[in-house]
Structure 1
């Protein structure tokens, strides 16, 4: 798949959907459910960032995109090098790195993905959606996950998310892909950093809302790992509802749009 001068509109929908959801969640990360209410972009908060600042979730997704744009394929070695540039130099950020998971940091420092039972954070799931637009196979998704998160639990969650994204791209609706979660009470949805919790929470938000804004606000307001839950849910909602459904004020506040545009394929 050669690099294109005209990036896929569907990919742009997904990436902007992720970036906006991520930025909405950044100020509330680590805050317990019920102790706040997110209604839009705000500044400062958990990481003391300006409004509209996205985190490691979007940075790593952009590094993934940029690798595919530059190489025309899923090149695991190239992706690893771009992740390392993000970690060491602040590439693919708005104004420098301010958040990174322990498993990701250890894997990028050592050059080997972590494969223990306790290494199943959501750090590979949060960056996997661009592969849905790149013709990636299940094995390629597993290999991309394994750059940092090499345990089978994380790798298979990435494969499932890839399949969900492709079903949405093909026109299936949220309830088609996550119908089992319709009507499940929020009290049964965990929103911490465990990869299976993030997978389920993102799909729950998609299945129980009817617009982009409702989906990402629901994700943030679940609390705890607010930026990652909203990043994944936002990427999926971007596919379903399109970039045009993102509130204009949120898009206007989003920082680093030039960085995003330079990475799309």
Structure 2
């Protein structure tokens, strides 16, 4: 498959999962079924009262990471951080608590390590949320050097989330994305990436009823991997992830990133990708990343 197709698939997969899932965020499955049935279309509304095609922090922070990498690929953290701050100052509707606290502390200290540790301390160690895995896909899409990709995956996570579980999840996720970008097999890639990880090694044997679509990064990645491995196309993967409800936008965004990279941009329904309000930015980012390979 053409590389650009996979790059755009990953980026738009995140955005489409985000925009679809945002409608169901914070709802129980019972509440969602009563209001929306089984949701398959991007309709907006929900807790954030979005317009159809509006995205949340998942996609906007992904754009920040991508922009920072493109500006300074050798050492992108400062450039990424500047974009986080600019986005935060735009008064976004949706921002996770850990990210918000870390960005606010960074604005005062100009030190991401200090900001991250501060949030970890005041939250009594609860910084293993999914706020970094939702935004990390540009790292895997950009860097050809695997070791560099792993390093930047961890560093961008540590900017806001001190807990190693958040960084470990980004590494596992981006390893999968990196391998799919290079045409590796669906099941073998997941199995190899998980390895002997205690957090993820049983995910393929889980029942759907055992999935927990929470904001805890391990739960999020388990849900995303399960939905991807138990469906045979992108649309079904994203719909199943979003309709788990709970932290639906992020679960579906993470699942969408995997499925989009694997199946490609052409596999995304036109009725979804044409609605995404930041589609031109995503297209531009994908083309710029692709140009680095030419």
TM-score scaled by structure 1? 0.89
Are residue 107 (structure 1) and residue 102 (structure 2) matched? yes
Q: How many corresponding residue pairs?
A: 253
In the TM superposition, residue 89 of structure 1 has moved relative to its aligned partner by 2.1
Q: Which runs of 5+ in 2 are unaligned?
A: 107-114, 192-201, 290-294
CA distance, structure 1, for counterparts of residue 6 and residue 190 of structure 2: 20
Specify the alignment match of 2:73 in structure 1: 72
1:212 maps to 2:234: yes
Q: Is the 8 A contact 1:174 1:206 kept in 2?
A: no
Q: How do 1:85-124 and structure 2 match up within 5 A?
A: 85-89=86-90, 97-111=92-106, 112-113=115-116, 114-115=119-120, 117-124=125-132
Q: String of CA shifts for 1:30-70, please: whole Å, max 9, x gaps.
A: 01124322121113122111111111001001111111222
Is there any run of 5+ residues in structure 1 with no aligned partner, and where? 1-6, 91-96
* Worse-superposed segment, 212-221 or 37-46: 37-46
Offset at residue 173 of structure 1 (A)? 3.3
Structure 1 residues 53 and 75, CA gap change in structure 2 (3 angstroms): same
- Greater shift in the superposed pair: 244-253 or 66-75: 66-75
Tell me the C-alpha RMSD between the 2 structures: 1.8
Q: Deviation of residue 142 (structure 1)? A: 1.2
Highest Rg: 1 or 2? Answer: 2
Partner of 1:4: none
1:28 is matched with: 24
Aligned residues of 2:157 and 2:167 also touching (Cα < 8 A): yes
CA distance in 2, matches of 1:253, 1:137: 31
**8 Å contact from structure 1 (residues 26, 53) kept in 2:** no
More helix by share: 2
**Which residue is 2:149 aligned to?**
137
Of the structure 1 ranges 111-120 and 146-155, higher mean CA displacement relative to structure 2 is found in 111-120
Q: Equivalent residues in 2 for 1:1-265 (5 A)?
A: 8-35=4-31, 36=33, 37-89=38-90, 97-111=92-106, 112-113=115-116, 114-115=119-120, 117-135=125-143, 136-178=148-190, 181-182=203-204, 184-264=206-286, 265=289
Question: SS at the partner of 1:137?
Answer: helix
Q: 3-state DSSP class of the match of 1:47? A: coil
